Each structure stands twice: as C-alpha cells, then as structure tokens.
A and B are shown apart, each in its own frame.
Chain A
C-alpha cells in the first residue's frame, strides 16, 4: 500500500526543516543559505535557530507555548527580508535574500501544515471544534505563493520544486477526505474540496462573458496568414519586403488550435481555472488602475477567486443568475493580471499549452537599437495576460521578439514602427526608474476610448497656458504617426517584431499568453 499523502507531506516538511537547519551552517553546503555570497549572517542564524526549534518539537499541537514564539520569529524574518527587497531593483534582489525569504516561507508552511487540524485529522486524531480548515488551507497556500511571487521560490535544494511538490501533496490530502464521508466530522471538512469551497455563481458559468463595453474600430489592418512552418517563418524574418524596416508584424492563425486550453481543458470556463488554482486560493499579482503610468496605479497580491469575483463582469449584461453576481467593488477599479509567469507558478496550467516552434527561429536583432542587445534567452519567456474588458498595457517596446497568442476573448493591438523614435515621445527617468521604453502617448485617451486622467489635464493647462489649444495641437501630431492595428480573436497569434511600439487593450474578458524570444 502506498504512503498516504499526508504522511508524504509531513516527511516532505520534516526533511525541509532539517535541510534548512544544516544549510544555514556557514560555508558548509554549496547552494545553501550559509554559503551564498553576501548573506546576512545574523538573519541566517535566526532562521537556523527556528529550524532547530522545529526539529526539537515532538509534535506541533501540544507545544503551543513554543510555537507562539516560533511563528512570531518566522514572521519577523519574513517581514525583515521583505523590507530589504525594496533596497534593490526587482531584478537585482540578491539570491541569498530571495532564498532566505523562500526558506523562511517553507518553515512557516511546515509549521502551518504540521499543526493544522487537517493533518491532525488525517493522522487519525480528533476533529477540533472551532477549527477552520478552509482558512488554514488558504493561509498555507498563501505562504507558499508569496515565496513564489515575491522571491521567485529561490533555492537549489528546495525552492520551486519543493513548493510545487508540497502544493501537489496538499491537494492530494484534500482529495482523500471524501473517503471518510460517513464520518460525521468529515462532512465539515468537505467544503475543503477545492471546487466546492465558497461556491459562487462563477463555478457554474459555462464561460466568461463576451461583453464588449467599448467598440474599437480597426483602421490599418495587419496582414494575416494561415499556419506557418518553422522554415517559412524563418524566411519571413530573414527577407522582409523593406530591408530597412525589417520584418513587419503578422497575424498567424491556427497556431493554437490543438492547445488543450482551447479544446479539452477550456480556459474560458471559470470553474476550470478555479479548479487549477486550488479552488481559487492561489495568489496572483494584479495591477490595479487603468495604466501603469497613471497616478494611483499599484500592484496587489490577491487570490484568484477574489480577482475573478471582484473585477470580472457577469456572464452577460442581461444575464439572470440564481444568486446575485458580485459586481466590481468600484467602477473605477480595473485589475489586470499582466506580465506574470502564471504558467510557471501553476505547472498544471502549463500543460494546457505548447510553445509554438516558431519561437525556435533565429530572428534578426532590432535594426534601430543602439547599445547592447538584451541578453540571449535559451528558452522562450512565457507570460500570462488575463483580465476583464478595458485592461490596457500602455504604448511601449520590449527588448524581445514576441508571439502573442490569444486564448480567450478579443484583444486590440496597435503597433508603431521602431523608426518613429522621438515622435513616440519616450518617457525619461521617473522616480529613479528608466521609463524610456514607454511612450507619453496615451492611445486610449487620444482616441476617446478613455477619459483623460485628471492630473494630466492640469499639467497640460499649467504648462502651456491654454489647455485646450495645447491638447489640440498634440492630438494632430499624434494622428499623423502611421501605425498598423488588429483585433486578435481566440486562436490568433500576433508576431510583434523586437522594438515595435505596441499598445494592447482587451476588448472583452481576455486571456493571452506571450512568448518572448531572441
């Protein structure tokens, strides 16, 4: 008989505790905290002491006095390391700090699991009245997701592999519960089963709404083609019509027709996405606000369920559902899961797509870019883009070639050539961050799809004296820049050559995956 999942998870935790304890020794174990360059030795020592406390606890439920201080100290380590993240640019956070955060999260999760009423129950213990297993689970998942999202689940010995395994086993633990259904207490646990917890109207929707609040016309359609072979795409890249400009943007259809995300495991079904996200418990980073250049824009980590239920429109504007659908909390709030490696965070979703082999072509470098090229990537970089209608990415350029695959809903994309240079009004340094890859032009505002943000209005008036006149001449300048545009339908793939300015806007609920390569 195979080992039950809760035993597997318990020993998975116990091994991690011991591994972390040993790894904190100074300079003894390559790849572990105590050997990483620049590590803060008092913090590593504090973590080791907590691992030691955990190793010496005979069991977690009867040692409440000790676990109170233990929890507090793990929380201290997490909040101290988190505040240190702000000392660096996100891409420069040193490995030791990310691994400290990850290992502290693994200890915290282990403590949460080993002392949980779920573990106790599966081990044959009593059911605790007043326990809230649903909340326990949500907290456990949160602990590990924070390590993934904040710290990249760093660590050669444990890191992402350990966390993926722990989350898998935790789901197995929940799946085991229905076997005890005849036991009275277990019924209380049954709302743990991810798909059934907090049932809302979302779980019964056949698909996301196709409602489009703003209709967006296409004026300069991008060329379309049927599915391309690797060879013909390579020659498309190598022999552009105009040598000076390089290959043009291109829509390729049929590339994602056989993806499970579009055939058997449908991403347009809310219940499917919820089931893949631990009943919607997984945390995702979302951008709150219209555009990342707006005042008041911010990022938040929220559960997948909260994201969908607070920010997505109901199935259709006229739909009548048996229970009232929760509407967006505030009409002004837009939330966008943007440029997030969701498919790395949730490996089971990764299995629903395939990397197009067109990403294994060798594209030419950006002919208009001076200075060092972006670092070469071995594997295409995958990002998910998921949000309600009206979510936008302002006009910007990327240092990679891009295949943007539309999986759910419709998306408007407008592109300007990289040769436009100063006419695109690249931003400068803002708040210590180089923003030169982002344009000052707000396509949605210039085209009348969005209202002009209030602070911009004031700035224009104080700067130019006469606001209306200044804006008018500005609008003329903007309209004069040539562009191409398109609306991507489900299954379409847009090739965006490196260096092209692009403005992206979801017309309906939209889920896209981008593949960056060079």
Chain B
C-alpha cells in the first residue's frame, strides 16, 4: 500500500504551490528553484492537480484543496457542486470559460463572472458527449474524444494555435477537427495538454505532437507552427506531457522527467535561465518512488509521485520545512538583470 506526493517547482508569488496554513507562510513567498515536496500523505483517491496563475487546485474524490489566492468567481467555478454538475471545466488565460455538461454540450462563457451570474448565458456547441478531455490555452480551447479526435477553437488572431486552417466553413471560434492528428503512425491521440500559445497531443505509441506559437514571443520548443509537428526527444517514448505559458515538461516511458523553455521563475526545476533543448531534471526521489504524472501551471511545474512502500504516515513537518527553505534559498535565477526583459522587447 503506497501513498502519493506532490512535488512542485517555480512561480510562487501567491504561495500557490504551498499547501500550508496561512500563519506559517513567509510574508513575501519566494519561487521554488528545484522540485520540492509540497504535499504528501494524500489519500489514494488523489485525482488531479491543476494550477492557474495565482492558485493551485488539488482534487481528491471528497474535496478540493486550494493553495494561493483564488478570486471569488473562480472559487465558485471550480467548487465541488459545479464539478459534479459538469463533466469538465476549463478556463483560458483570456478569461473565457468552457464547460462540458452532462448532455454532451460544450458551453462557452465570456468569463467566470458570466458563468456565475447566469449559467444559461453562453455559446453552446452540441454533440460532444464523447469528449474525455478539455484543455485551455491562452486564448482558446482543445477537446479530445474517446476516438482520439482533437478539436480546437479560439481567438482567430492566433490561428497557429488551432492546428488547422481557419476558413469560412471551419471558423476559428467553433470547435473543429484537427485533421492532421488522425491516422497517425503511432496510434490514436490519448491525451492532450495546453498552455500559453502551445498545444500538445500524445499518441498511444508515445509520440508527442505540438503546434501553436505567437508571432511576438520566443517559442518554448523548436519547429512550432500551425501544423501539428512530431516532437522528437531523442526517440524516447513519452507517457505524459504538460504545458505552461512558455515551458513544457514531459515524462518518458522509462520515468525520466525532461523540460524545455523559459525558466524565469524556476518552473523547469533546473539551474539555468532557459533550456533551449530538452533537459533532464535530476530528481532526488527515494528508490521506491516513481513519477506518475507531470502537470504545469503558467509558470510552475508539478510532479505526482507515488511511493511503493510503507512509512510513517505523517511526514514530520520540520523535515518538510527544511527541505522547502533549502529550495527557496537556491534561487540563483531570481537576480534579474534589470535590462534583460526579453519579453518586453519582442513587441
């Protein structure tokens, strides 16, 4: 009988990766420069982690743990009652919200506020009862269905994120099939992930496809455009992928964690300003520990780690604290040179 742990690295300005009582938090929380255990002894019904700009939600079958600062509307949007009345919920960085209702309709709202004020005030796309995954990127959404079909829609000014042509018959703001992701050599798409202006899809055979991009931003990976491209990471099979604002994190079939992209807030968990190529993260996990999944917030990353053997249920807090302090102190990248605001220059 094992237990699950959550490890995190990266942006923490709202203590959004620290699941600790308020009084114990430092006044101005630092980012975590290396992957650090932030939650342990979770029950085995641990379901998922999703991280937004200022807060992180950890879902178990019975409750939702929240770290960080969550605005009122988002708190309602992601509350358990809403989670049980809708099959899937996602919020894009531009504020738009899409939910999948039990009748298989995708319902899109202008904002979480609009959703809270009137759940009927939305655009409805019917016929999506087969959908198993709904993800949001910066200015739009993608869904994956049981048959491995991916559909995308979003802001027409960023057509590369659609992974398909935007035409009159297949407009940008309606969910439409990404044809390039059908009949792939390594099987159907099993999983999708999105963040920033990048969308990723993983096949049955462990191939990773990515598309997207923004004309004024440095792309986190090479060969990023409006067509799903196969991303070759030394020919390794990929079992999980997560996408942040400007970084990606993958888990390989042989349990390695690799990262690429911007490390402005320590989201890669490595000691570098940026990773231009896929870089393996050296993790200090016990022998019996295995990374089961990777997740990403806009500027942070998470590992869901499973332990196979029995230990004291209650990890001593002092130990955890010490670990955390160590991570926070290792913030070499947190000394920005004031002139180097790269992103500002790419106007």
Contact = CB atoms under 8 A, between A and B. Distances in A.
Interface string A476-515: 0000000000000000000000000000000000000000
Considering residues B70, B245, B344, which has the most beta carbons from chain A within 10 angstroms of its beta carbon?
B344
A79 B216 CA distance: 13
Interface string A376-396: 000000000000000000000
B80 interface: no
Nearest to A89: B157
| Interface bin, chain A | 35 or more
Name the interface size band of chain B: 35 or more
Interface in B252-275: 264-265
A502 B166 CA distance: 31
Interface in A274-318: 285, 298-301
Interface in B289-347: 334-336, 338-339, 341, 343-345, 347
A87 B94 contact: yes
Contacts of A43: 54
A45 B54 CA distance: 11
A75 B336 contact: yes
B157 A432 contact: yes
Interface in B193-251: 214-216, 245
The secondary structure that dominates the B interface is loop
Contacts of B264: 79
B172 interface: yes
B28 A53 contact: yes
Contacts of B155: 87, 432
A82 interface: yes
Given A80-B53, A82-B344, A42 B28 contact: no
Contact of A431 (B31, B139, B159, B216): B159
Interface string A129-158: 000000100010000001000100000000
A330 interface: no
A78 B265 contact: no
Contact of A432 (B13, B14, B172, B334): B172
A28 interface: no
A433 B215 CA distance: 15
Contact of A42 (B71, B95, B172, B336): B71
Interface in A61-94: 66, 68-73, 75-76, 78-80, 82-84, 86-87
A86 B347 contact: no
Contact of A86 (B54, B159, B214): B214
A139 B338 contact: yes
Given A49-B28, A87-B95, A299-B347, A431 B339 contact: no
A112 interface: yes
B30 interface: yes
B69 to A, nearest CB: 4
B3 interface: no
Nearest to A135: B339
A474 interface: no
A70 B156 CA distance: 37
Contact of B265 (A42, A71, A76): A76
Nearest to B197: A86
A69 B30 contact: yes
A139 B155 CA distance: 34
Nearest to B31: A72
A69 B33 CA distance: 13
A301 B336 contact: no
Nearest to A79: B343
- The main secondary structure of chain A at its interface with chain B is helix
Contacts of B338: 71, 112, 139
Nearest to A77: B13
A82 B343 contact: yes
A75 B341 contact: yes
Interface in B100-156: 138-139, 155-156
A83 B30 contact: no
Contacts of B14: 42, 45-46
A432 B171 CA distance: 11
A40 B14 CA distance: 13
A41 interface: yes
Interface in A97-146: 112, 135, 139, 146
Nearest to A49: B28
Contacts of B38: none
Contacts of B35: none
A84 B93 CA distance: 8
B245 A83 contact: yes
Contacts of B69: 41-42, 45
Interface string A35-50: 0000011110110010
Nearest to A138: B339
A432 B28 contact: no
Contacts of A298: 215-216
A73 B341 contact: no
Contacts of B13: 46, 73, 76
Contact of A301 (B11, B68, B159, B347): B347
Contacts of B28: 49, 53, 66, 69-70, 73
Interface string B1-33: 000000000010110000000000000101100
Contacts of B214: 86
Nearest to B343: A79
Nearest to A85: B347
B341 A79 contact: yes
A285 B53 CA distance: 30
A362 B243 CA distance: 56
B159 A42 contact: no
Nearest to B94: A87
Nearest to A42: B54
A84 B343 CA distance: 13
A285 B347 contact: yes
Interface centre among A71, A79, A150 (most CB of B within 10 A): A79
Residue among A40, A80, A150 with max Cβ neighbours from chain B (10 Å): A80
A34 to B, nearest CB: 13
B71 A71 contact: no
A354 to B, nearest CB: 32
Contacts of A49: 28
A41 B71 contact: yes
Contacts of B336: 71-72, 75
Interface centre among A72, A78, A139 (most CB of B within 10 A): A72
A46 B31 CA distance: 14
Contacts of B95: 87
A76 B343 CA distance: 11
B47 to A, nearest CB: 24
A80 B265 CA distance: 12
A86 B214 CA distance: 10
Interface of A: 40-43, 45-46, 49, 53, 66, 68-73, 75-76, 78-80, 82-84, 86-87, 112, 135, 139, 146, 150, 285, 298-301, 431-433
8 smallest A-B Cβ distances: which pairs? Answer: A432-B157, A42-B54, A87-B94, A432-B156, A42-B69, A72-B334, A41-B71, A79-B343
22 contacts: A41-B69, A41-B71, A42-B55, A42-B68, A42-B69, A42-B70, A46-B14, A49-B28, A68-B334, A68-B335, A72-B335, A73-B13, A75-B336, A83-B343, A84-B93, A86-B216, A87-B139, A298-B215, A298-B216, A300-B347, A431-B157, A432-B159
Given A71-B336, A72-B334, A139-B339, 13 more contacts: A43-B54, A46-B13, A46-B14, A76-B265, A79-B341, A86-B139, A87-B95, A135-B339, A300-B345, A301-B345, A431-B159, A432-B156, A432-B172
